[in-house]
């Protein structure tokens, strides 16, 4: 229920998604099967090598889908040429990395058992999404773009980031996170039981100890701090503690409930499509860069129309 | 200095810390919520004193306390609880261990410095037994090149011979010049 779902356009946002990263309407229908000639030409190995590090995007389908017009080829070549700008490439890779982390959070939510753990990870997903998009939009602003695909996407992204839906998503997620971050509580652990209460300005005991014995201090002492590995995941004990914390601080959790209801589907279909499709170009560029490093020459072919 | 710094009040405070570190009222940890609403920043705190000012107690409503008792067979729960406690104790344990190191180092320095004075007293006893005269020298202000003494004897000679040696008198106003190395 708390997984972000794709939708065409967010509430209150009437954006026309004119951008096509592939520039070919008939290429949008991706071929589901590898062409028979690929193994004969060893192209299957090439595609495998290009897409090896990008399994999550299922990019091989894009490589299997043929293009039919020279115009489309040129349209894609322009994107490749834009991506030769290292700065642009770095920004897009950073965006892709954030989106990948966001998807990992989403996948994790399905495996969690407790409601408010799921809801907060959902909130984290939204925060990651907002940050990734805002960062990319501001980074793209000053970068010269020649390709129609990326230039159109930049306009779309800028409009999307200014939309009331995205602004509301950003503001609500930050407000909710802030409210939750301000919660401070106490756990009193006794033998075989524990209690949970609000934090009431109890003093940090280690500082009291330091102050009491500071008169003996003549030089810096050895660091005795033991690194205790923090467990990942949530146990039933932590879930119980959280249940008590929810009772002690109902307002921030009401905000979280409201956020999850209001923004339960926040992913934009066009942004998600861009996130995947740009990987086609990134994978290819990385592959070519590797070949260039080996001293092999590379150029973009000129496609004639016959 | 020792009497002043380590008076009864201070020793009572240390005693109270030792009692508190046995956690008779349980381990009190403060915490905050991190990603996924998981507890983080567990920190050992001291219980608020019952002697807090009356107006503070009067105007501050006490928090509700929720309690949970583990089933005696809930071993995994006990392990998790123990791990939470360890996380909270880490910082205080570090401070306590460092405090112990400071105390130990302080007494080591104290022992070394006292050893110097005890050695002086032992030497005094020896010299006294050999009937050599002793005195505390009176230092002259810096820049005044003056020196005088009566019956000044070579202490190493007395200790080696194990007998009284004849001393020397130096008259008032003699300029003292220490030889260079």
Is the pLDDT at B60 greater than 70? The verdict is no
Higher pLDDT, B47 or A252: A252
Mean pLDDT over A93-100 rounds to 94
The yes/no answer to whether this complex scores an ipTM above 0.90 is no
Give me the mean pLDDT over the A95-108 stretch. Answer: 92
pLDDT at A7: 38
Residue B32: strand, helix, or coil: strand
Residue of B nearest to A113 (CA): B36
Only one residue has tokens 């939470």, namely: B84
Interface test with B, best of A110, A115, A186, A209 (most B CBs within 10 A): A209
A192 and B69 within 8 Å at the Cβ level: the answer is: yes
| Confidence band for B59, pLDDT divided at 50, 70 and 90 | low
Identify which of B31, B81, B96 has the shortest CB distance to residue A237. Answer: B81
For residue A6, the model assigns a pLDDT of: 40
* Separation of alpha carbons B152 and B110, rounded Å: 32
| Residue-level pLDDT at A3 | 32
Confidence tier at A8 by pLDDT (50, 70, 90): very low
For residues A241 and B38, the answer to whether their CB atoms sit within 8 Å is no
Categorize the per-residue pLDDT at A2 as very low, low, confident or very high, splitting at 50, 70 and 90: very low
User: Residue B1: pLDDT above 50?
Assistant: yes
Higher per-residue pLDDT: A198 or B6: A198
Rounded to a whole number, what is the distance in Å from the CA of A225 to chain B's nearest CA?
A: 5
For chain B, what percent of residues have pLDDT higher than 70? 88
Nearest CA in chain B to A215: B5
Average pLDDT over residues A99-109: 92
Share of chain A above pLDDT 70, in %: 88
Of the candidates A212, A238, A194, the residue with the CA atom closest to the CA atom of residue B27: A194
pLDDT at A118 over 50: yes
> What is the average pLDDT across A279-298?
91
Q: How confident is the model at residue A132 (pLDDT cuts 50, 70, 90)?
A: very high
Q: CA-CA distance, A49 to A288, in Å (whole number)?
A: 11
Interstrand relation of B39-44 and B27-33 (parallel, antiparallel or unpaired): antiparallel
| Cβ–Cβ contact B102 with A under 8 A | yes
Number of residues assigned to chain B: 181
What pTM, to 2 d.p., does this model score?
0.76
Give pLDDT, residue B5. 74
Q: Over the stretch B131-168, which tens digit does the pLDDT of each residue have?
A: 898 998 888 888 777 888 888 989 899 999 998 889 88
What is the reported pLDDT for A233?
63
* Cβ–Cβ gap B105/A120 under 8 Å: no
Asked whether residue A21 carries a pLDDT value surpassing 80, the answer given is: no
Q: Are A10 and A268 in contact (CB under 8 A)?
A: yes
- Per-residue pLDDT tens digits for A186-231: 999 998 899 999 999 898 888 888 888 887 777 777 888 877 766 6
């Amino acid at each position: 229920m708390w997984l972000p779902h794709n939708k065409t356009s967010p509430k209150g946002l009437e954006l026309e998604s004119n951008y096509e990263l592939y520039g070919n309407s008939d290429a949008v229908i991706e071929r589901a099967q590898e062409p028979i000639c690929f193994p004969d030409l060893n192209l299957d190995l090439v595609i495998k090598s290009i897409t090896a590090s990008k399994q999550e995007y299922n990019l091989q389908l894009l490589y299997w889908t043929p293009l039919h017009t020279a115009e489309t080829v040129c349209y894609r070549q322009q994107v490749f040429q834009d991506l030769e700008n290292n700065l642009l490439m770095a920004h897009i890779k950073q965006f892709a990395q954030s989106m990948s982390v966001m998807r990992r959070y989403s996948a994790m939510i399905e495996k969690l058992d407790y409601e408010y753990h799921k809801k907060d990870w959902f909130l984290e997903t939204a925060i990651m999404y907002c940050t990734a998009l805002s960062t990319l939009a501001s980074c793209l602003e000053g970068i010269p773009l020649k390709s129609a695909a990326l230039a159109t996407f930049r306009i779309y992204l800028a409009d999307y980031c200014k939309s009331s839906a995205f602004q509301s998503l950003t503001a609500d997620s930050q407000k909710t996170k802030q409210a939750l971050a301000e919660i401070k509580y106490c756990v009193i652990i006794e033998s075989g039981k524990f209690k949970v209460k609000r934090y009431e300005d109890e003093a940090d005991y280690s500082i009291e100890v330091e102050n009491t014995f500071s008169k003996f201090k003549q030089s810096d002492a050895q660091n005795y701090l033991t690194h205790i590995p923090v467990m990942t995941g949530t146990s039933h004990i932590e879930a119980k503690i959280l249940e008590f914390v929810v009772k002690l601080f109902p307002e921030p959790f009401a905000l979280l409930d409201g956020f999850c209801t209001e923004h339960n589907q926040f992913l934009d279909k066009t942004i998600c499509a861009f996130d995947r499709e740009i990987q086609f170009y990134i994978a290819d560029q990385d592959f070519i860069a590797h070949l260039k490093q080996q001293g092999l020459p590379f150029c973009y072919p000129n496609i004639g129309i016959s | 200095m020792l009497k002043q710094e380590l008076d009864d009040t201070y020793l009572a405070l240390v005693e109270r810390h030792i009692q508190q570190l046995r956690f008779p009222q349980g381990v009190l940890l403060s915490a905050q919520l991190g990603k996924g609403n998981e507890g983080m920043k567990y920190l050992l705190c001291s219980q608020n004193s019952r002697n807090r000012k009356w107006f503070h107690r009067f105007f501050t409503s006490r928090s509700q306390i929720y309690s949970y008792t583990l089933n005696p067979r809930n071993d995994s729960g006990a392990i998790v609880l123990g791990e939470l406690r360890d996380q909270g104790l880490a910082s205080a344990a570090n401070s306590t261990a460092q405090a112990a190191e400071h105390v130990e180092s302080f007494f080591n320095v104290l022992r070394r410095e006292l050893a110097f004075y005890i050695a002086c007293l032992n030497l005094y006893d020896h010299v006294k037994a050999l009937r050599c005269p002793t005195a505390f020298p009176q230092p002259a202000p810096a820049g005044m090149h003056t020196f005088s003494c009566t019956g000044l004897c070579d202490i190493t000679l007395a200790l080696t011979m194990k007998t009284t040696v004849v001393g020397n008198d130096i008259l008032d106003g003699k300029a003292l010049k220490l030889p260079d190395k």
